[in-house]
Structure 1
Amino acid sequence: MTNFRDKLNTHLPIVLQFISTASLVAIALSAICGTKSLKNLAESHGIMPQINSKMHLNHHK
Structure 2
Amino acid sequence: MPVMEVSKAARQATPGQVIRVLATDPAAKSDISAWAQRTGNEIVDIRDEEGYVVIIAKIVNPGK
Give the TM-score normalised by the residue count of structure 2.
0.27
Higher RCO structure (Cα 8 Å, ≥6 apart):
2
Greater fraction of residues in helix: 1
Higher strand share: 2
